[in-house]
Structure 1
Amino acid sequence: MTQKNKLILIDGNSILYRAFFALPLLSNDKGVYTNAVFGFTKMLLRVLEEQQPTHILVAFDAGKTTFRHQTYGDYKGGRQQTPPELSEQFNLVRELLDASSIKYYQLDQYEADDIIGTLSHEATKQGFDVRVISGDKDMLQLVSDHVQVHITRKGISEVDVYTPELLLEKLTLKPEQIIDMKALMGDSSDNIPGVPGVGEKTAIKLLNQFETLEHIYGNIDQVKGKKLQEKLMAHKDEAFMSQELATINCASPITIKVDDIDYQGYDSNRLSSLFKNLGFQSLLDTIGSSEEADANKSNQLTDIPVEIIEQVEDIQFSGHEALVVEMVDDNYHLANIEGIGIVNADHHYFIPADIALNSDSLKTWLEDPKQTKISFDSKQVTVALLRHGIKVKGIRFDLLLASYLINPSENNHDIPAISHRLGYQNVLFDEEIYGKGAKLKIPDLPILAEHVVRKTKALYLLKDKAKQALKENQQEALLNELELPLAIILGRMEAQGVRVNQQQLEDMQIELKERLETIEQEVHELAGERFNLNSPKQLGPILFEKLGLPVIKKTKTGYSTSADVLEQLENKHPIIAKLLLYRQLGKLQSTYIEGLLKVIHDDNKIHTRFNQALTQTGRLSSIDPNLQNIPIRLEEGRKIRKAFIPSEQDWVMFAADYSQIELRVLAHIAGDEKLIAAFKEDRDIHTQTAMDVFHVEMDQVNDLMRRQAKAVNFGIVYGISDYGLSQNLGITRKEAKAFIDRYFVSYPGVKDYMDRIVLQAKQEGFVKTLMQRRRYLPEITSRNFNQRSFAERTAMNTPIQGSAADIIKKAMIDLDFALAYQGLSARIILQVHDELILEAPKSEIEKLKQLVPEIMENAVKLDVPLKVDYAYGSTWYDAK
């Protein structure tokens, strides 16, 4: 006889609140508050052991505003703000649920009660037994022959289990009468008014006599007591409004179904790791040993029927496939494709590379935009297939980007790591299959096919989980409208590459070598002897013993000659400036000139790789080589850009960059009226700040004042401290503090923003950009001052820097579309933070001078105008 399905529905907000106030304010060794999570976990483990559910879900409230506020604006209006010590634990509970392989759900404009009511109705129709766990007696209206409601009575350890019989015994009411009881007596916790002066006893007495609210008012003359009649009639509208407010919506537009929340048991190893991190030592014994955990693991992703394809025509495409293009080398510009995995609901295909890359049928499918493809790293797929003449289209989801958006602080976003985080344990890491380093090799076909298909299957299964997390974070548009389209554009940019004049770099190499030799000789003359300039052991005694310069810092091995030490000594002796220049030019030579010469491809181009899923702010970075980091402070560094030239004859390089975009974003986010006005009137913001802070007129602002104002303007964006500013400007901390204080007096909106965003980060555990990009900051509640201070500065900066990064990404998408729409040959080839570099025919320059700034300045609408500067020339250096 098969066991009947049992569904557990947990009111997450209610149980967390009860646990928080029932237990002392506990925290772990990292300073993270854990009392609510601990109480919730104990309750959850007890429920799992006692109830043995086949399906389970934890429902959360989505926010402060619900559809009920349309009926009554003051609904829940009397509630106090959630303590920050509790707010920061909600994310920990979600981590706990993820580790327990238990799904959770919330829905905008609806409450956890509505989600639970809707799912309980759906489940009972399917023959489930349902158990609702909550501290809210509103849930009693859901009680039925198949729905028990467990109400926590004392803290969360004692529970009353309500059935129709117990409800009748305790309250002498039927489940459907609970709504009308609330309508009459109201609910102070939810600010439901009810009828003033009618308490629980009177409400029950009335319902015992008349059964329903409608019958009470239909027979008002029969209500005993004239005063009660008058109260009821005077507040009839409030009573029926309260009835509406108290009614759980059991037909909410939820997107999750009962079949989606099946429960296979938790992984003891994964849960124990989380318990150790949270400091829940007392709970470790309750979750069993590793052997038990292994026994509880579901057989997900085992016994996959791999179909190794010899004829692509044999593949049965469904129009909705997961796609993995398998490469072992990280640099997909050079890596061999080992094979292609394709998985749909019914089939698990592996196509060996020699068959895949020579198949017109596969090319047709890959290039068909109507055939939906789920990918992992769509940029990599785009570049790899372009190398074989295939322009892949129809990619509608990217798991790498989704995982990165969900939590950018994770340091591993490959398929196995994501699989393990989301509950599929049977996906091996590439190193386990291929080895690494000198031992790396491609295994035999059956093993290769099994591994690739297993990853592709995981990709197919993980999409829905990742989509749900994105939806809960309000990040669907961030993926679908920003990151995914950008990935395809970046892929085309990388494949296109940037042409390099190799001879120019080689000439610079010779020139720099001669310059370095000259500086070395000059240093030897100033020192009075020859020595190795690159050896701190030899340099230290020269500077601090022979030349008698003051010792700034010592290390275990002798004198420190680090850059910060030399910079402090720069005015003490002419040898220091030459040493600093020698180091700067030496780095240019080794890192950039020689480095660039090593990575020029056969097509005389450099094909960098943009990291789209690395930085926690959302900024792009680039590697192999890093073209965003070519030094421009030194003229010698700027000259490196002369080697970057258009790839076509009679073309030019066109560069456009946002002017002070982070300060403009700060003005918008902070809403500071004076800052906004300065940008709207196109004033020089650093001169304006100097005028405001020093209380002088424009013609009285000197270079020093403007330089100090500039340092503060950009420092404020990064949450600069008085110490940091004092180091930047070479002034005392007291002077720096006074400067920052005067700035905040001049721009109070900025100060309010800084205070507000730090408080918000402490309450929610994260900050977000204008486009909903999140950055989690667990250290913001740390007891360690340095960790907490860094997190607070990060909280101030991330919404600004991250929003600026989002804006230029949006501009890239808009500009790419506009260039294609207008039939122009110009194309974007590089992005360097706030700057876009294009190459274009000379004949299109006049058009670009109008089009590029217009597109970039209108990428988003802020309270201040965006401003774009542009230039063009025969090399990247000339486009300045």
Structure 2
Amino acid sequence: MESEKKLYLIDAFALIFRAYFAFAKNPLINSKGQNVSAISGFVNTLNLLLKKTNSTHIAVCFDSFEITTREVAYPEYKANRDEAPEDIKFSIPYIKEIVKAFNIPIIEKGGYEADDIIGTLAKKAKKAGYDVYMVTMDKDYGQLVEEGIYMYRPSFLGTGFDTLSVDDILKKWEIENPLQVIDILGLMGDSVDNIPGVPGVGEKTAKKLIQQYGSVEGVLENIDKMKGKMQENFINFKEQAIMSKFLATIILDVPVEFDEEKLIIDEPDREKLSEIFRELEFRKLAKDILGESYEVNAERNGAQFDLFGNTESSAVNAIQSQSEKIEAGKNITNTPHHYQLCETEDEIKILIADLLQQKEFSFDTETTGIDANDAELVGLSFSWKIGEGYYVPVPTDQSKAKALVDLFKPVLENNAITLIGQNIKYDYLMMKWYGIELKGKLQDSMLAHYLLEPELRHNMDFLAENYLGYSPVSITTLIGKKGKNQLSMRDVPIEKVTEYAVEDADITLQLHQQFQPLLKTEKLEKLYKEVEIPLIQVLADMEYEGVNLDVDFLNDFSKELEIEVESTGKEIFELAGVRFNIDSPKQLSDVLFVKLKIPYEGKKTKTGQLSTGEDILSRLENDYPIASLLLNYRELGKLKSTYVDSLPQLINPKTNRIHTNFSQAVASSGRLSSNNPNLQNIPIRTERGQQVRKAFIARDENHILLSADYSQIELRIIAALSNDTGMIEAFKQGMDIHSATAARVFGVDANTVTREMRSKAKAVNFGIAYGQTAFGLSQNLKISRTEAKEIIDNYTAQFPGVQQLMESNIEFARKHGYVETILGRKRYLRDINSANNTVRSQAERIAINSPIQGSAADMIKIAMINIHEALKKEKLKSKMTLQVHDELVFDVFKPELEQMKQLVQEKMVNALTLNVPIEVEVGTGINWLEAH
């Protein structure tokens, strides 16, 4: 029976670290440059707890900084943890002051952790007739759960809470008693707390063993029934298993008093809270908690958002403000909705008639897989009113499926209707395989959020929880986890699919309505409508078209590489004087730095061994031939496994072509990314790496590949943005920019520039766009830092406009909290005023580079859109098939070749109007390598 007396015990550090890392990529910075993410997150969660629960008693428990009993017994306990970030150390005193101002007692005890204190108090409170809720995300607390004692777990970013009872713990851990959580943790260990566990035993194995033997002790009594490596590990690590169980056990007899009078919830000290909130510039929190409204008058020296101050609104701020207003903990079971299944001919006709009356609606496809070029339709869902929607199942028989889908042509190919999707490119491509081309005005909530918050995740679950306070039905609850037992959507009862599918359409509609006003506020609407949205159809058509692959060449190349890998391995063994596993970092480290006694300069890995990474080997290759061989061995091996042997496996049996997936919402810079295969990572710097491009061939003998590559586009954008007269003049005269740079930097005539001078100038030209330092240049060119600094100093003296551009970008970021491209694409830089020099320097490098790289990304996207439009308008048979970095690849119908050369060149050159000439290098060939 539920008790009227309720005690909430808060694990302070669990919430503090959670809040800090939730905003790790996008920290909340006030005008003083203080990172207040942890404080804001903690207070938001505390406020939500007080608002949403009918608690009568409360306490906040902190860990002690004194040595604990666990550390006495096992000194390595938590020894692997890095020191707490400075921003968290800064936050703790403020959080304690805020808790005190709320008149909530703080409980901490020397030598004990918060979970020990909470465990002890929970047991005492239950005996006194309380229902106890332990506010934490820490899995260890599962062992304490019993009737009347619950885990009360905050959801991501503090938008709600989940109550975990005994049944929830038993189900999660697959056990019979919550106390067995201790045994599972004892066997599997815990890397966070440095609890060792038993080697080779993960969560799955630990659960199985505890199900079988009941406890750690029971497992140890049955070692004789084990076999092989597992038996060996349990024999060798028996004592470690017992110690691990001890470390995982929460102490229940901490000498703390349970004084219920002191734990009664009281009115906060409003004056004290107001003072702290004003100091931290928590304007929104002050208004929400205290009903106050005030301005922050501090002189601004950093990135500001409405949550903290009175500057122009930002997407971050508008989103955060919204997240504080949303109702928490919503899901399909507690949220009113009307999701209707449409199966009969009459129901479908009525639905289509209704859809034709709408100006806009959200649309989603349910399919048998995530590859739209290989999946089959399972159903269609629609929503045009929040909380309502419709689901139409699609027959398994493909002829019947296409007949049903055809009924929706008047709706989906209707130019007057706006179609809203979440990653609508997938739905576009899916429908194209069924003979329908989405012709309405497209909208995409994923792309909208990508422009607003490029650094964050953009999947529906994340967006729904953080902007709507809603947890969608998980796909795994329908079809299970990945593996041989995973179901297809066709195997799931249609009632469940209906709920899942229409919920997706419903959420998409709500997200669209949330994000569209923000796009206007942030002045991103033009970029969204004129670049990202039109690009959806371009990319979908490219994916649909695919590219031809020369499998015979790849098979022959694979055999060549296998011989080379084996030959290189033998050379390595000869130099090492011993045979060993070259692919084992530990064995290789021992050979290089112990047996061969090669001097080591670098940091150790997390496991304490000397690193054999590419950066280390690259430093050694000039002096030690074995290092050069190892680099070559790795390159050949990676080339063979990652590309040469893998590419044929990606061929679609339906088309006998490769259909790569292009993603708009991955790279924060605005660049496109691709996978299956990742075209951006195909090696081009080595002769062997370049050979992979040879496998990409024209459709047939009537076609030829055309490659069009922007020439030094980022340098031209630097010249345009910096308005540097020297650099602009070099481009206008058609000079080799690297030779021209070398002549200026080294003070020589252009005709006397050596290959070495040009190479150094090239490194500076490309490095400058990434904020390269003298140290970085010295490492790259293998020269002294003094010489590198001299080169950079000469460069900035000769091209003062470039230096001014770098400085102005950083200054703009400091003032506004972001930088932007020529077209207004924003990159938020929350660390630009960080007190941590390393973190701040990284933000400064991004501030320098993002406007350049992002503008280049925007430029090629516009070119792609314009070319795609021209191909359709001219009704050409040639197709755009690939985009890699600054290059576009086309499968050209030979009679259209000259027209295509002219069309592509013109559209790429004129994509953006700059005050420097734009050059595009065009080549043709029967394969990509020849064309490039």
Equivalent residue for 1:464, pick from 499, 503, 513: 513
- Give the Cα separation in 2 of the matches to 1:93 and 1:650: 53
- Give the Cα separation in 2 of the matches to 1:800 and 1:780: 18
Equivalent residue for 1:591, pick from 642, 645, 667: 642
Larger mean Cα displacement after TM superposition, 680-689 or 310-319: 310-319
Structure 1 counterpart of 2:429:
383
Q: For residue 42 of structure 1, report the CA deviation from its aligned partner.
A: 4.8
The alignment status of 1:348 with 2:348, answered yes or no, reads no
Mark the CA change 1:747 to 1:806 in structure 2 (over 3 Å): closer, same or farther.
same
Equivalent residue for 1:560, pick from 604, 608, 611: 611
Equivalent AA in structure 2 for residue 465 of structure 1? Q
Structure 2 counterpart of 1:136:
none
Mark the CA change 1:687 to 1:95 in structure 2 (over 3 Å): closer, same or farther.
closer
Equivalent residue for 1:722, pick from 774, 792, 798: 774
Note if contact 2:31-2:302 (Cα within 8 Å) is conserved in structure 1. no
Structure 1 counterpart of 2:377:
337
The alignment status of 1:422 with 2:467, answered yes or no, reads yes
Note if contact 1:498-1:647 (Cα within 8 Å) is conserved in structure 2. yes
Structure 1 counterpart of 2:250:
none
Q: How does 1:719-758 map to 2 (within 5 A)?
A: 719-758=771-810
- Give the Cα separation in 2 of the matches to 1:480 and 1:97: 21
Q: For residue 650 of structure 1, report the CA deviation from its aligned partner.
A: 1.6
Q: For residue 673 of structure 1, report the CA deviation from its aligned partner.
A: 1.8
Mark the CA change 1:35 to 1:784 in structure 2 (over 3 Å): closer, same or farther.
farther
Structure 2 counterpart of 1:684:
736
Q: For residue 339 of structure 1, report the CA deviation from its aligned partner.
A: 1.4
Structure 1 counterpart of 2:528:
479
Q: How does 1:482-631 map to 2 (within 5 A)?
A: 482-553=531-602, 556=607, 558-602=609-653, 603-631=655-683
Equivalent AA in structure 1 for residue 652 of structure 2? H
Task: Name stretches of at least 5 consecutive residues in structure 1 with no aligned partner.
Answer: 1-21, 51-57, 61-78, 103-264, 270-292
Note if contact 1:100-1:267 (Cα within 8 Å) is conserved in structure 2. no
Larger mean Cα displacement after TM superposition, 653-662 or 395-404: 395-404
Q: How does 1:67-216 map to 2 (within 5 A)?
A: 83-84=301-302, 89=309, 90=311, 95=316, 98-101=319-322
Note if contact 1:37-1:92 (Cα within 8 Å) is conserved in structure 2. no
The alignment status of 1:266 with 2:322, answered yes or no, reads no
Note if contact 1:27-1:35 (Cα within 8 Å) is conserved in structure 2. no
- Give the Cα separation in 2 of the matches to 1:36 and 1:809: 45
Mark the CA change 1:379 to 1:692 in structure 2 (over 3 Å): closer, same or farther.
same
The alignment status of 1:358 with 2:392, answered yes or no, reads no
The alignment status of 1:45 with 2:288, answered yes or no, reads yes
Q: Percent identity?
A: 36
Q: For residue 665 of structure 1, report the CA deviation from its aligned partner.
A: 0.8
Q: Give a deviation string over 1:266-295, Cα, whole Å, max 9, x none.
A: 3476xxxxxxxxxxxxxxxxxxxxxxx88x
Equivalent residue for 2:447, pick from 394, 401, 407: 401
- Give the Cα separation in 1 of the matches to 2:469 and 2:431: 29
Larger mean Cα displacement after TM superposition, 575-584 or 754-763: 575-584
Q: For residue 876 of structure 1, report the CA deviation from its aligned partner.
A: 0.8
Equivalent AA in structure 2 for residue 625 of structure 1? P
Q: Give a deviation string over 1:803-831, Cα, whole Å, max 9, x none.
A: 10010000001111122222321110000
- Give the Cα separation in 1 of the matches to 2:608 and 2:506: 55
Equivalent AA in structure 1 for residue 322 of structure 2? S
Q: For residue 510 of structure 1, report the CA deviation from its aligned partner.
A: 1.1
TM-score normalized with structure 1 length: 0.69
Q: What is the alpha-carbon root mean square deviation over aligned residues?
A: 3.2
Note if contact 1:326-1:338 (Cα within 8 Å) is conserved in structure 2. yes
Note if contact 1:26-1:34 (Cα within 8 Å) is conserved in structure 2. no
Note if contact 2:698-2:705 (Cα within 8 Å) is conserved in structure 1. yes
The alignment status of 1:775 with 2:827, answered yes or no, reads yes
3-state DSSP of counterpart to 2:644? helix
Mark the CA change 1:625 to 1:364 in structure 2 (over 3 Å): closer, same or farther.
same
Q: For residue 798 of structure 1, report the CA deviation from its aligned partner.
A: 0.4
Mark the CA change 1:826 to 1:26 in structure 2 (over 3 Å): closer, same or farther.
closer
3-state DSSP of counterpart to 1:718? coil
Equivalent AA in structure 2 for residue 304 of structure 1? H
The alignment status of 1:321 with 2:350, answered yes or no, reads no
Mark the CA change 1:737 to 1:391 in structure 2 (over 3 Å): closer, same or farther.
same
Q: For residue 774 of structure 1, report the CA deviation from its aligned partner.
A: 1.0
3-state DSSP of counterpart to 2:832? helix
Q: For residue 303 of structure 1, report the CA deviation from its aligned partner.
A: 2.4
Structure 1 counterpart of 2:16:
none
Mark the CA change 1:681 to 1:425 in structure 2 (over 3 Å): closer, same or farther.
same
- Give the Cα separation in 2 of the matches to 1:564 and 1:617: 25
Q: For residue 322 of structure 1, report the CA deviation from its aligned partner.
A: 1.2
3-state DSSP of counterpart to 1:628? helix
Note if contact 1:301-1:427 (Cα within 8 Å) is conserved in structure 2. no
3-state DSSP of counterpart to 1:761? helix
The alignment status of 1:664 with 2:716, answered yes or no, reads yes
Bigger Rg, which one: 1
- Give the Cα separation in 1 of the matches to 2:715 and 2:291: 52
Mark the CA change 1:455 to 1:481 in structure 2 (over 3 Å): closer, same or farther.
same
Structure 2 counterpart of 1:157:
none
- Give the Cα separation in 2 of the matches to 1:82 and 1:565: 43
- Give the Cα separation in 2 of the matches to 1:267 and 1:344: 21
- Give the Cα separation in 2 of the matches to 1:94 and 1:43: 20
Structure 1 counterpart of 2:482:
437
Equivalent AA in structure 1 for residue 454 of structure 2? P
Mark the CA change 1:24 to 1:716 in structure 2 (over 3 Å): closer, same or farther.
closer
3-state DSSP of counterpart to 2:918? coil
- Give the Cα separation in 1 of the matches to 2:597 and 2:915: 57
- Give the Cα separation in 1 of the matches to 2:32 and 2:549: 65
Q: For residue 729 of structure 1, report the CA deviation from its aligned partner.
A: 1.2
Report how many aligned residue pairs link the two structures. 647
Mark the CA change 1:669 to 1:519 in structure 2 (over 3 Å): closer, same or farther.
same
The alignment status of 1:822 with 2:874, answered yes or no, reads yes
Note if contact 2:720-2:916 (Cα within 8 Å) is conserved in structure 1. yes
- Give the Cα separation in 1 of the matches to 2:818 and 2:474: 30
3-state DSSP of counterpart to 2:846? helix
Structure 1 counterpart of 2:199:
none
Larger mean Cα displacement after TM superposition, 811-820 or 300-309: 300-309
- Give the Cα separation in 2 of the matches to 1:306 and 1:48: 42
Mark the CA change 1:94 to 1:842 in structure 2 (over 3 Å): closer, same or farther.
closer
Note if contact 1:830-1:836 (Cα within 8 Å) is conserved in structure 2. yes
Structure 1 counterpart of 2:157:
none
Q: For residue 481 of structure 1, report the CA deviation from its aligned partner.
A: 1.1
Larger mean Cα displacement after TM superposition, 41-50 or 544-553: 41-50
- Give the Cα separation in 1 of the matches to 2:827 and 2:379: 36
Q: For residue 797 of structure 1, report the CA deviation from its aligned partner.
A: 0.3
- Give the Cα separation in 2 of the matches to 1:622 and 1:875: 20
Q: For residue 498 of structure 1, report the CA deviation from its aligned partner.
A: 0.7
- Give the Cα separation in 2 of the matches to 1:40 and 1:529: 68
Q: Give a deviation string over 1:310-332, Cα, whole Å, max 9, x none.
A: 32322121242211112363333
Q: For residue 478 of structure 1, report the CA deviation from its aligned partner.
A: 1.0
Note if contact 1:338-1:352 (Cα within 8 Å) is conserved in structure 2. yes
3-state DSSP of counterpart to 1:351? strand
Equivalent AA in structure 2 for residue 367 of structure 1? E
Q: For residue 566 of structure 1, report the CA deviation from its aligned partner.
A: 2.1
Q: For residue 588 of structure 1, report the CA deviation from its aligned partner.
A: 0.6
Mark the CA change 1:34 to 1:800 in structure 2 (over 3 Å): closer, same or farther.
farther
- Give the Cα separation in 2 of the matches to 1:586 and 1:382: 38
Q: For residue 578 of structure 1, report the CA deviation from its aligned partner.
A: 2.4
Structure 1 counterpart of 2:765:
713
Q: Give a deviation string over 1:100-120, Cα, whole Å, max 9, x none.
A: 538xxxxxxxxxxxxxxxxxx
Larger mean Cα displacement after TM superposition, 433-442 or 592-601: 433-442
Mark the CA change 1:872 to 1:573 in structure 2 (over 3 Å): closer, same or farther.
same
Note if contact 1:378-1:395 (Cα within 8 Å) is conserved in structure 2. no
